[in-house]
Structure 1
Amino acid sequence: MQRNTAAAGVGARVLGEIEETTLDEVLASLRATFPTTTTKDTTTTITDAATTTTSANPPLTQPKTFPLPALNALVHRHFRATHCAPLSLTGRHRELLYPLIATLIAPPHNQAVSIVDFEGRFDPVRLLSTPPFPVEGIPGYALRRADLLHVHVLRPPPRGPPGHVAAQVAQMEGYMLYGAHASRGREWWGTVVIGGGTEPAGGVGAGGAAQVAVTADWRGWMRVERVWVRGFGEVGVEEALEGREGREREVEQGRWVGVSPWGSVGFGGVGGGGWLMVGDGVKYLKEM
């Protein structure tokens, strides 16, 4: 009995020395103890005996840099309004994807691009016949056949268990960072996810979500459409024949427009330059 009384006294003294606190105070103490992670861009370098792979791995809260100035401005405009980084395409999305990827892998950018294609319809060979977006001060550059080695395409099954899209994106990330491929000496620009369905591609780990730069599916915040070509109207036969050549030329030039609530970007045609529609007017950001 005496031993129990002594133990109880020791327990009482211990409890008396414990400072009462709240959960908020504990969290505040932890924040003060461990510094907050900064949001600066980081670069991860993996080195082995022969090669080096460099991957620009921005934080989740920053969009990628796009090689078409007008498109880049629009993506950042959307990001400031929604805090959602990826470019999300719908409609005729391949008409923008092909010149975008061709520009990224060709000189002077010389980057690598990974594609997770759930639709199985992306054709890398088509890049050879796709003019890249022009670069100011570098006239006449073009895609080389060897540049196709730096387009890495994964074609997983279109359907799978919950988390299927995230798992495939994570698999591609691991391959790009640690796999034995031809792009070990290039910077990895990011991942394009085609046909991911309703599952968000960003639902992967921090690295994989940061690398998803573009999604393309049946829904998205930017719809890619062909620029409307004026019809004949009420004109005579001779006038229609005179104007036919000009309309056919406009169609062949392949002018396209990406339309969104935050503005519209046009591309293609002669020179392939882009413009950004802002509010009630058209602001030409770059004429090339």
Structure 2
Amino acid sequence: MQLAVTATETAAAPYAQALAEELRLEYLGVADSRNISSVAYVLECGGKLQLQATGRKAPGPILVDFVSGVAAHRRKFGGGKGQQIAKAVGMKGSFYPRVLDATAGLGRDAFVLASLGCEVQMLERNPVVHALLNDGVKRLQAAATSDPDLASIAARLKLLPRVDSAAAWLSQQPGESLPVIYLDPMFPSREKSAKVKKEMVAFHQLVGSDEDADQLMAPAIAACYYRTVVKRPRLAPWLAELKPNLALEGKSGRFDIYTRHGVPG
């Protein structure tokens, strides 16, 4: 994917230049993505960091937003601990397990778990996605200074330093040292809606499908204490062809659960 870095305003230029150097991408200066034709996508640095397709008819940007929009709506009206993801990680009563999201992506599930009361660590290997996550966490922390509800969530949500391989990182952890490990490897999307095509095609092109996802299973199960949870499309095969101890199915997806020790009642 052709990708460069731009600034939306002069004040953002120093950060944009530094980010371009860090990611080893071309810096195009202060520019409007609608007027760019030399690359297909840009990382726009301004009030927010966002991945934006270039050209006049480009769809909207991809960014990490933990403060407003979908994240805010789900935090307020998503169903609380009755959500399947809460049940999948073993949340019940006053038990809120510490979770490592080893394939954090845009951090949506990690934020949900943190908003429900879990301490969540996010691990991400793609450098561009990690930069988007880092920007989203910083804006959450800024908003948290004036919002007590967000402050408690921000205190529970942490982005770990970027790694080249989540499987290698997990392999280096002591056995049974992480209460719950959550995996949501990228799977080729079968969704045909125009919304997915317009809003997420850039992200899918950037990340691709995780061809090495099966390698996550053995080190994850070895490193977890309570369980490893794998989020999958409803009809997708088991990760690493390993049958789960139990599964929670929804309309379009499911959570495969690999248990080691029972969660407290």
Q: In which range does the TM-score fall when normalised by the shorter chain?
A: under 0.3
What is the TM-score of this pair, normalised by structure 1?
0.23
Question: Which is bigger in relative contact order (C-alpha 8 A, separation at least 6)?
Answer: 1
What is the TM-score of this pair, normalised by structure 2?
0.25
Q: Is the radius of gyration larger for structure 1 or structure 2? A: 1
